[in-house]
Amino acid sequence: MKTNIIHPLIIKKFNIKLIAISAIVAAAGIVALFLSYTLIGSALLIISLIIYFFKSTNMVYSPSGSYIKTESLYFDKEFLETLKNIIAKEITDETAPFKLSDNGSGRVDIVYSADKEFAAYRLFRFVPHSYEPATDMVSCTGNEAHKLLKYFDRCRS
């Protein structure tokens, strides 16, 4: 899922371990090239570039240093207004979960920290050929984020 979250507490952070692994694989590729193992050396260099360019940064929730996770949940479009009302109110353990589907005409994108101290979500509706936003991005922290993520977990089961 490609979610463009702009929040002052979410930052990009370099993953030092993966950068080091990328450097080691690149060095092994260069050594393989010098030893005339061109296919192996080229493959190692390509792998190191892929690791470096696609995996070297992570989104992090800065107060806790926890990595950001994203997911999309799909539901039928007729539940969109119901879901807007449910999420607009305070969510409790008694809040009725909504029914998810494998691919529905409604979608909720959730972005949250691994420690569940931060969560942000946005509802979308399917208009022919694409999903368009149905609500603004809403973010919450602390206990409110825990409740929201627990609610979405109940909807999954």
Q: Mind listing the pLDDT tens digit for each residue in 76-103? A: 877 788 788 777 777 777 777 778 888 7
Region 111-139: what's the mean pLDDT? 87
- 81-100 burial code (b ≥16 CB/10 A, e <16): eebeebbeeebeeebeebeb
Q: If you average pLDDT over every residue of the chain, what do you get? A: 86
Q: What is the mean pLDDT of residues 124-140?
A: 85
- Which pTM does this prediction carry? 0.73
pLDDT of 4 above 70? no
pLDDT of residue 2: 56
pLDDT in tens, 22-46: 999 999 999 999 999 999 999 999 9
Please give the biggest Cα pair distance in the chain.
Answer: 67
Q: What pLDDT is attached to residue 115?
A: 92
